[in-house]
Structure 1
Amino acid sequence: MFPLKNLIKRLLAGALLAGVMALPIFAQDPAPVTVAQPEVRPAVERVELTGSFTARRAAQLSPRLSGLVETIDIDAGDAVAAGDVVVRLDDRLAELQLGQAEAAVAQLRASFDEAVRLRDEALRLGEDRFFPDTEIQARKSAVQVAKAALDVASAERDTAAERLARHAIVAPFDGVIARRLTEAGEWVETGTAVAELVAVDDLWLDVQAPQRLWPRLRQDTDIEIIVDALDGRALTGEVAARVPVSDPAARTFLLRLILPEADPAITPGMSARTVIRLRTDAAALLVPRDALIRYPDGTITLFTVDDSASPPVARQRQVAVGRVDGDRAVIESGLSPDQAVVVRGNEVLTEGQPVRIVEDGG
């Protein structure tokens, strides 16, 4: 009899103690949270790629004939303009040959002028029947022969002048000497590179882009170029070309970008990051990225506020996240557009915990 009474008393005491201990849990103050309303709009896919600046024009300067290097007045880093002489070959013999050719032209021009004078004289006398027709024809033929000889000599003179000009190797465009590849006194053959010239004010950025972007890239695509060497300065880029030859292994294609305005601080070889923003026509459900809670196993959840309770309570929902649009993430499933999400204070929330909205995150 007494043991049964003692057991009942102990059970009642334990239940009372458990109730007392549970009171602080149910009586805890609601957690302050900030919420934001999801957006429904066409999403912008943000794609980040890396690449390097390359010169649109670069040339290995080489002579068009063999010869001895007489002077070389450039070195690596020197800026040159189109038409500047960078290397000159020994041209003494070419100068002499040109002088001979010019003398021959002068001699034959005098012969031609004399032949013309004699022909005109014969024609004038022939009008009065004082000159035989055969002699007139002979003098006409002499003019033609003299003219042909003069033309040949003129062509030889032009050839000699061109040969002399080819002893000077000139810059074909404005740029900077990247490498000096010869020295005075060296013999160079036709086609031997003597210097490397790079146009540093005319650059493009080469990046390898995923094949899936091919049909979506246009010249007016929103592109931002971030140059790390310039303290992360962001510049506006434009699509210059899409090279259709893809890399089947990497499933990429070459995308070439340009800067609308040249920046002298950027040089060939500098690396850069590109941010490509691609708009889509389909509407998407977007929430602030701060609302997402990621777990090591890949699970992604967020908290909504159930205001049907008093006070409102937090409800944890597992969601499927698609692409990221700036500071927003596309929710593919697990959330309705009319459900506000917690963007601040969600780090320590638990399912069913009372909450108090202190700020609307928009």
Structure 2
Amino acid sequence: MSSISVTANAIAEQQNSQAAPTKVDVLKAEEQMLRQTLSLTGTIEARQHAQLATLEAGVVAAMLVEAGDYVVKGDPLLVLDDKLAALTLAQREASLAAAQAALIEAQRLYEEVVTLSKKQLVAETLMAERESGVAIANADFKRVQAEVAQQQEVVNRHRLYAPFDGVISERHVDLGEWITQQRPAFTLVEQAKLRLKLAIPQEYFSQLSSANLTNRQNGVNGQIIGVEVSPDAAPTNIANPPIRATLSRIVSDASNTSRTITGYVDLPQAENLVAGMSARADIILPSTQAQLSRLIWLPKTAIKQHPDGGRSVFTVEQNRAKRHLVKVVETQGEQVAVTGAPSNSDFVVTGVALLKDGALLAVNRIKGAKQ
């Protein structure tokens, strides 16, 4: 190198060192965990959704509820004509009364011979005969008693009761119709316990399984997989944030048509949620140490765009600019998340387009970045 070029470089460095510092705003941003999410759309369903049918065939004599009615477990919903069953029950109750009377008489006769036997005034054969009569009468009484209980159950089965709390979503029969045990009379939907059903792509199964979800379902502590649910019928905003829940259950069986596995997210009770609605779920995927990466949130103004498509940011080191190549991985409004930047550093957020590595800076500190 000639002495002339060396002298020129020395002069340039001296002029640069004597140049006025560039005034910039800086902020301190901390490194955060990179949150990987899987966004899916699913259907809200009731954990209990039953087609209710009567246990006996017959003619509908009374309709006690309508579609849209809320019922409590044990509430009567429908009554069938039970006249013949009730008459049969009355006959068997009469037979029970006769069997009871016969048992009482047999016991009286037996006690009578027991008293005489103490005075040795009765034959042993008569004693055994009366004792046998009591046993026969008692057996007959129990038989008829069981028949009465059976017929009472038949009468009870002419009424349909709600098996759990819920809403009658559909009524399938009308007054006066003949129905059988195979024909549903009502559709009952449980509204207090809702869940979101998701079809999860099969390639995520091993990652979700690594969180020991199955062990947690069996009562063993495991990593909790968070989910943010946004119902389509109630758009999320500041006043209506996403519902925070967890992935409650995954079914270890993939569909051979869609190549997906089923996942369930239990939802809290809410007035604006009903079964059948659609919702978006953002599943926060668990990460292993090998997959772990970190990011820093910065304003868009902190990013310098390169002609080749690359990006960089500047930090402040001893009042001079230090350039770092970064990769933008996420954008939210005016904030961007980048990787490749040093943590716990002061980042330049103004004037980066013309800023060069090593430039002298006049620093004005401002508040921190998005947390």
Q: Structure 1 length normalisation: TM-score?
A: 0.76
Alpha carbons of structure 1 residues 139 and 338: separation in structure 2 relative to 1, 3 Å: closer
Amino acid in the other structure paired with 1:128? K
Partners of 2:336 and 2:37 in 1: CA distance: 10
Match of 2:243 among 235, 243, 258: 235
Contact in 2 for aligned 1:101/1:153 (Cα 8 Å): yes
Contact in 1 for aligned 2:326/2:338 (Cα 8 Å): no
Amino acid in the other structure paired with 1:267? V
Look up the match of 1:67: 58
Amino acid in the other structure paired with 1:213? L
Q: CA deviation at 1:264?
A: 3.0
Look up the match of 2:279: 272
Alpha carbons of structure 1 residues 122 and 341: separation in structure 2 relative to 1, 3 Å: same
Look up the match of 1:215: 210
Q: Structure 2 length normalisation: TM-score?
A: 0.74
Match of 2:270 among 256, 263, 267: 263
Q: Look up the SS of the partner of 1:229 in the other structure.
A: coil
Match of 2:166 among 160, 170, 175: 175
Structure 1 unaligned spans of 5+: 1-28
Contact in 2 for aligned 1:55/1:203 (Cα 8 Å): yes
Look up the match of 1:304: 314
Contact in 2 for aligned 1:284/1:330 (Cα 8 Å): no
Look up the match of 1:290: 299
Matches within 5 A, 1:126-275: 126-209=117-200, 210-211=204-205, 212-216=207-211, 218=222, 220-232=224-236, 233=240, 234-247=242-255, 252-259=260-267, 261-275=268-282
Alpha carbons of structure 1 residues 330 and 118: separation in structure 2 relative to 1, 3 Å: farther
Partners of 2:282 and 2:255 in 1: CA distance: 21
Larger CA Rg, structure 1 vs 2? 1
Partners of 2:125 and 2:331 in 1: CA distance: 98
Q: CA deviation at 1:90?
A: 0.6
Contact in 1 for aligned 2:297/2:338 (Cα 8 Å): no
Alpha carbons of structure 1 residues 322 and 303: separation in structure 2 relative to 1, 3 Å: closer
Partners of 1:195 and 1:300 in 2: CA distance: 63
Contact in 1 for aligned 2:33/2:295 (Cα 8 Å): no
Partners of 1:182 and 1:222 in 2: CA distance: 43
Partners of 1:67 and 1:207 in 2: CA distance: 41
Alpha carbons of structure 1 residues 359 and 162: separation in structure 2 relative to 1, 3 Å: same
Q: CA deviation at 1:153?
A: 0.8
Amino acid in the other structure paired with 1:205? L
Pick which of 167-176 and 123-132 moved more.
Answer: 123-132
Partners of 2:209 and 2:40 in 1: CA distance: 14
Residue identity (%): 29
Q: CA deviation at 1:204?
A: 1.2
Contact in 2 for aligned 1:178/1:196 (Cα 8 Å): yes
Structure 2 unaligned spans of 5+: 1-19, 214-221
Look up the match of 1:118: 109
Q: How many residues align?
A: 326
More strand by share: 1
Partners of 1:294 and 1:97 in 2: CA distance: 91
Q: CA deviation at 1:336?
A: 4.7
